[in-house]
Amino acid sequence: MQQNLLQTPIEYLKGVGPHRGELLRKELGIHKYGDLVNFFPNRYIDRTRYYKINELQNTTSEVQIIGKIIHIKTVEFGKNKKRLVATFVDDTGQMELVWFQGHKWIRESLKLNEVIVIFGKCSSFNGTFNMAHPEMELLSEHQKSLRSAMQAIYPSTETLANRGVSNRVIIKMMQQLFLETQNLFSETLPDYLINELKLISKKAALFNIHFPKSSEALAKAQFRLKFEELFFIQLQLITKNLIQKHKIKGHPFTSVGQHFNDFYQNHLPFELTNAQKRVIKEIRTDMGSNAQMNRLLQGDVGSGKTIVAFMSMLLAIDNGFQACLMAPTEILANQHFLGLSELAKTANINIQLLTGSTKTADRKIIHEALEDGSLHILIGTHALLEDKVQFKNLGLAVIDEQHRFGVEQRSKLWKKNEIPPHVLVMTATPIPRTLAMSLYGDLDISVIDELPPGRKPIQTVHRFDSNRLKVWKFLKDEIALGRQIYIVYPLIQESEKMDFKDLMDGYESISRDFPLPQYSISILHGKMKPADKESEMKRFAEGKTNIMVATTVIEVGVNVPNASVMIIESAERFGLSQLHQLRGRVGRGAEQSYCILMTSHKLSSDSKIRMETMVSTNDGFEIAEVDLKLRGPGDLMGTQQSGVLNLQIADIVKDKDILLLARNYAIQLLREDASMHKPEHATLRAVFIEMTKKKNIWNYIS
């Protein structure tokens, strides 16, 4: 339809006006006619059925009844409170309609003995049914209005409800909108796509999503609109990837030189798995081309991502460039520094660590060595982003656990060079395929999906608090064999008194059950000074203590191959990905390792599913799929990324088949006509250009 009509400010729609327009803008983000058309219902009610009063039951579902009001009265109750009560009858009995607010104008609008249709939820009180704040309409109006068999229920807010913008008011606005626009919505998809997928037209889809004539018509409308939404997102992500490959030049790392070859042939600490070899090959191909690499490396805890990152850095150094690795916390940056220094000890490579704790004198040396090129690899936290940090020639930036960094922070790294460095983003949080395609559809994805040889899968069991004595006996047996134990308590927020108390109470009771001098215990929590944390970690790593009692501080950053048991207290208070990360702290040596999930007997159904999932699988991707179903995409990716998936109608968990279909069609289309210049893509191109102008979420992804 003429685009300009959809651009009309919402207050110009008959029945809206400036006051309601302001409310719609603030509460629902509806600014223009086009926003209202795309404001989709979140459920529907069957309005084909009319109930009789003698058929009513105490249920939570809404019903509609035809009848008339024969009497109205005001009843006082409580202190200075009144309610308006009307007696409503049909040919089978009578009931009450009740209002607690807005008495004056409701009383004025009620007419006795007129045939009306009421709609709402019923409840029974002293044997009489009543309906509070019903929707009401004259039967004659009801039969005339643009009504469908399924009535749409729209998302709302408390403020809207209090200001009288009810669901019925929104339906009226919607009807008015369709009258004013005459449902002349123009097509957005090419004809061949519509025919091939047997999609209904855009016009029919929009009408039937708001006013479905039947559940079949509704299903067709939903499929059409979900496909379109996901198709355009994929078009944008894949186009962005193609543009990156064509436009953003990268440093071609053409030679595989001395450092890489010497390390690969003579100093590999263990044989690489086939998955690691495959990923290194993918990275080498990317960095050998003229385009900037943008690759996401996914691998479960302990799958050997660090060695892949290190070998990629050696390629950069062999080609005369520097590399950096940015981690979200000091503990993790420290661990990477120790790990990479260990790998690099035979090579003549200068590696330094830069964090908030680095002393000023050391910083000065690091800055100078970076600028004159004598520093090859810099590892650090956000400190790497400071303006003072200038590289001579940064060729590769590795970012660990990237969902903890905002986009602006990442782009600061790019700006440190005229030609942006190659980028390798690593995560140990397995991301389900559907989510990865939506969040990182513009990054190429590599997955390390096998663990190094000799690693035994961790055995996971779920035990209730009442089994504690048996669990403690098992711990004593393991310690007698020379193994070490983690016991982790939930500390959701550092300030929660209760959680801190849990940890201290736990520490005291463990100290009683595992007394000195036979046993020694370390403790670790967020309130400790960094130096104390460091020394406790060190004592445990060196085997001077048998048990480490900790909060989730332990989740990242400790590698103790001799630790064979992970006990997670109050496991029901952790999310799946956190449980999986914690479990990954053990199982790093050759011995059999165990993870014991301790919970109370009272478990919600979600908690039960989480425990069962942990016991049944060690596969991070399987766990991530369950987590996605339980929590939804926003929660899974943390706050920075949750805005990425403000989808209007599709749901990437429930609609993952449609997402795959949309992605495949988008890839096919761009393969054949990347610039969308073919005549049959003219409409598509216009819509696409319009969408990319909007500062929408996907312009910010990666």
Residue pair 97/130 in contact by the 8 Å Cβ criterion: yes
Residue 402, pLDDT score: 60
Give the Å distances, CA to CA, from 536 to 73, 110, 194: 74, 75, 64
**Beta bridge pairs of residue 447:** 298
Residues making up the chain, counted from first to last = 702
Residue 49, pLDDT score: 82
**Domains recognised in the chain with CATH numbers:** 48-146 (2.40.50.140), 258-288+304-427 (3.40.50.300), 459-617 (3.40.50.300)
**Beta bridge pairs of residue 131:** 97, 122
Give the Å distances, CA to CA, from 58 to 54, 128, 150: 12, 11, 22
The C-alpha torsion from 203 through 205 and 209 to 210, rounded to 10°, is 10
91: Cβ contacts below 8 Å, ≥ 6 apart = 52
- CA dist 677 and 266 (Å) reads 53
- CA dist 145 and 102 (Å) reads 25
- CA dist 382 and 450 (Å) reads 31
Give the DSSP H or E segment for 288: helix 274-288
Residue 390, pLDDT score: 92
- CA dist 63 and 91 (Å) reads 17
DSSP tally for the chain: helices H, then strands E: 26, 21
Q: Which tokens go with 179?
A: 């009258």
> Is residue 43 classed as helix, strand or coil in its secondary structure?
strand
- CA dist 232 and 537 (Å) reads 49
The C-alpha torsion from 442 through 655 and 620 to 332, rounded to 10°, is 40
CA 235 to chain centre: 21
Residue 702, pLDDT score: 29
Give the Å distances, CA to CA, from 559 to 324, 342, 488, 556, 582: 22, 13, 15, 9, 12
How many CB atoms within 10 Å of residue 289?
14
Kindly list the strands in the beta sheet with 351-354, ordered across the sheet, starting from the edge strand earlier in the chain. 351-354, 377-380, 322-326, 394-400, 422-427, 294-299, 444-448
CA 480 to chain centre: 43
Averages of pLDDT over runs of 10 residues in the chain (702 residues) are 78 94 94 94 84 84 91 88 93 93 85 93 87 90 73 88 88 94 88 96 94 89 95 88 78 91 90 94 92 87 87 96 91 87 90 93 95 95 89 93 60 75 85 71 81 83 94 96 93 53 83 94 84 86 92 67 93 89 85 94 92 93 84 53 62 81 93 92 90 52 30
Return the closest-CA partner of residue 243 out of 698, 592, 624.
698
- By DSSP bridging, strand 116-125 and strand 93-99 are unpaired
- CA dist 342 and 351 (Å) reads 10
How many CB atoms within 10 Å of residue 61?
9
Single-letter code of the amino acid located at 12: Y
Residue pair 44/208 in contact by the 8 Å Cβ criterion: no
Nearest 5 degrees, angle CA 452-CA 458-CA 464?
165
Give the Å distances, CA to CA, from 478 to 402, 484, 593: 36, 7, 10
Nearest 5 degrees, angle CA 278-CA 279-CA 285?
90
Return the closest-CA partner of residue 98 out of 124, 137, 79, 80.
124
Q: Which tokens go with 55?
A: 């058929």
- CA dist 312 and 306 (Å) reads 10
Residue 670, pLDDT score: 92
What's the farthest any 2 CA atoms get from each other in the chain?
96
